[in-house]
A and B are shown apart, each in its own frame.
Chain A
């Protein structure tokens, strides 16, 4: 099965690769209408989330330049696309795009982040190639729309549709098993300690909602801003008194500035319901927005954690590996990631 998915990805990628198709026009996350040539053989991607989706679509072979984050800081990407480690870097922390290197790579298209709203126009002027700015902005509908748009651009519409269908079906099965259909007030309230801080939290986080929880910080900032983080005064956390606290675990243990243990030991938090009941757990969280497979695994994982009464334990590694195989056709990628993140220490019930 695994070999079949991998082979299918490769064959489909090769088949679409080099085909001349009609030019398409897409509307990106900045609302820009961008005409894209029918033949997209050479891709530069400055947005890690897009790069991951391109690999999942089977268009990884067409990447000719990637962002520094994936090379230097992402422990997941080398597991799902080892060839990425030999691709030229076209950016670094201080430089959004190494223009001369980008020119040398002769891209047909450049993908960028809508967070850098002037970057797309700037690159387009300098390189005279179409630039599409896309991101999920931390929303499932945004992620699925991004997969669909990228599928159109690289001529992998069917693969995109298959991934979207798989994603939606998994969400539906999660919904059947979780209390997401229950009224908001009867769902467990969840506080997310993200970005290496106890007091920084995303004001919307779809995996929690899909898994049947209620984000305590929901509505703290206007929704139209995407999914920005807010910093809260610590006593706000005591006001919310959440049922569950989730700590971002997408860092290797040695890099975590906030851990489940530090939350449980913090005397200022001792009166919290989540701390008293021991419902402080890791979750994955953002990693330059999302990896489409990882966020799906996260949603499944959270649905088990938030299930009323805890429910039976489950094999996180096995479920994760299955999702990763579906997306990347790579065997054991999630298990390998879990070894880096020490997921075996995470509670799964």
Chain B
């Protein structure tokens, strides 16, 4: 039984590495501008090895390197960020329904972007404002929760309060918004990877990469933390420090992703559940596998969003439409995993 479980984990580990790369290759070949697969290959080889012959014509290079690749890399990193953030928070709070929305991160980011789009003009980019307010939301949650003895519940309740606060503030901004700024805001709130540029990625990818790496390295501690505070302390873990660290990192990577692509929901909830369904609740497996499958899911959703119709479907809408029924099915089938 254990051997079968191990071989399944090994297979999933390989899949978690291979699937995002395979989807990346596929997605590089999908788009409104038709580029023959051979031209995709020669253009990329030509760019990587400048001496190589037969680089594709210039529009191909522009499309691949200026439009598609930044977008696909953002999808990979943001998907990994949301899934790892969700998996870590669920382990920490021992609650399968926790994800970035539960700690006010998404609504904090949305409020920040709204402030920028509606009131601050060009002086503060929406990405920067979203990032700042996502972190403000988490700091508020941590401050409200304080040193309460039943901190898991308190943090969750604080998250609900902070989310509600930022939702109200967002509604207030919408009330005062110029209707045309409001259009930009609504579009941003729907989530899209389409506007990713290398400039955005220069900041976002290192932040997400570092945050995900540290959370993956902490997967052992997450197992200990998920035992409960008393047991974790008895095993010599500084629970307060580790909790703050996990929450801060989860907030950081989610905020970094949300700031560039807008609000994209459900990845942080669906992917860890899928992974737990396959390998159980061991965070040593759940966290790293969630990174690979989260990256794959968002990349797949974005590829469908830009390839399924002549116009673009906001990826946030797509993940919600697909995610909600999928989650209902999962919920029906996977209740025992958390027992």
User: Interface on A for B, CB 8 Å cutoff?
Assistant: 69, 72-73, 92-94, 195-197, 199-200, 220-221, 230-236, 238-239, 251, 254-255, 257, 267-268, 270-271, 288
Contacts and interface: CB of A to CB of B under 8 A. Distances in A.
B312 A231 contact: yes
13 contacts: A195-B180, A196-B183, A231-B192, A232-B310, A232-B312, A233-B31, A233-B311, A235-B33, A238-B63, A239-B32, A239-B33, A257-B184, A268-B67
Contacts of A197: 184, 187
A255 B311 contact: no
Given A69-B179, A233-B306, A235-B67, A271 B62 contact: yes
Interface in B177-230: 177-184, 187, 192, 194-195, 197
A232 B311 CA distance: 4
A267 B70 CA distance: 14
B168 to A, nearest CB: 12
Contacts of A251: 180
B178 A73 contact: yes
Which of A92, A233, A267 gathers most chain B CB within 10 Å?
Answer: A233
A149 B50 CA distance: 67
A232 B192 CA distance: 11
B314 interface: yes
Contacts of A255: 121, 178, 180-181
A216 B312 CA distance: 15
Contacts of A238: 32-33, 59, 62-63, 67
A69 B33 CA distance: 39
Contacts of A220: 310-311
A220 B34 CA distance: 18
A200 B187 contact: yes
Interface string B31-46: 1111000000000000
Contacts, number: 89
A195 B174 CA distance: 17
Contacts of B184: 195-197, 257
Interface string B138-179: 000000000000000000000000000000000100111111
A195 B32 contact: no
B68 interface: yes
B66 interface: yes
B179 A231 contact: no
Interface in B57-74: 58-59, 62-63, 66-68
Contacts of B187: 197, 200, 231
Contacts of B311: 220-221, 230-233, 236
A-B pairs with lowest CB-CB distance, top 8: A236-B32, A230-B311, A235-B33, A94-B175, A268-B66, A233-B306, A231-B312, A235-B32
A316 B194 CA distance: 36
Which of A94, A234, A288 gathers most chain B CB within 10 Å?
Answer: A234
A55 B60 CA distance: 53
Interface residues of B, number: 34
A69 B181 CA distance: 13
A226 to B, nearest CB: 16
Contacts of A267: 62, 66
B165 to A, nearest CB: 18
A234 B121 CA distance: 23
Given A93-B175, A238-B67, 18 more contacts: A94-B175, A195-B183, A197-B187, A199-B194, A230-B311, A231-B187, A234-B194, A234-B195, A235-B68, A236-B32, A236-B33, A236-B310, A238-B33, A238-B63, A255-B178, A257-B184, A270-B62, A271-B62
A239 B31 CA distance: 10
A93 B62 contact: no
A235 B31 contact: yes
A342 to B, nearest CB: 16
Contacts of B68: 235
A66 to B, nearest CB: 15
A339 to B, nearest CB: 20
B194 A233 contact: yes
B43 to A, nearest CB: 14
Nearest to B64: A235
A221 to B, nearest CB: 7
B63 A235 contact: yes
B222 to A, nearest CB: 38
B174 A93 contact: yes
Nearest to A221: B311
Contacts of B195: 199, 234
Nearest to A237: B32
Given A238-B59, A238-B63, A251-B180, A94 B33 contact: no
A221 B311 CA distance: 8
B180 A196 contact: yes
A92 B179 CA distance: 11
Interface in B272-313: 306, 310-312
Contacts of A199: 194-195, 312
A220 to B, nearest CB: 6
Interface string B66-99: 1110000000000000000000000000000000
Contacts of B121: 254-255
Given A199-B194, A271-B58, A93 B31 contact: no
Nearest to B174: A93
A299 to B, nearest CB: 22
B197 to A, nearest CB: 8
A230 B311 CA distance: 6
Which of B33, B68, B306 gathers most chain A CB within 10 Å?
Answer: B33
Contacts of B176: 93
A229 B163 CA distance: 31
Contacts of A72: 178
Given A197-B184, A199-B312, A235-B68, A271 B179 contact: no
A231 B183 contact: no
A200 B311 CA distance: 10
